[in-house]
Amino acid sequence: MWDYVVTSEFGNVYYIDPLSIKRNNSIVTYSQLTNYSKNKEIDKKDPQSIVQHKINDCEANRFRISGLVGYERENAKGSIVVVEIEREEKWLTIKPKKIAEIIHQEVCNYKY
Nearest of 47, 51, 19, 17 to residue 33 by alpha carbon:
51
Regarding pTM above 0.85, the answer is yes
The pLDDT of residue 17: 97
Domain 3-108 falls in which CATH fold?
Answer: Lipocalin (2.40.128)
C-alpha to C-alpha distance for 84 and 75, rounded to whole angstroms: 18
pLDDT for 6: 97
pLDDT digit string (tens) for the chain, length 112 residues: 899 999 999 999 999 999 999 999 999 999 999 999 987 665 667 899 999 999 999 999 999 999 999 999 999 999 999 999 998 889 999 999 999 999 999 999 998 6
Q: What confidence score (pLDDT) does residue 69 get?
A: 98
What does the alpha-carbon distance between residue 87 and residue 65 come to, in Å, rounded to a whole number? 10
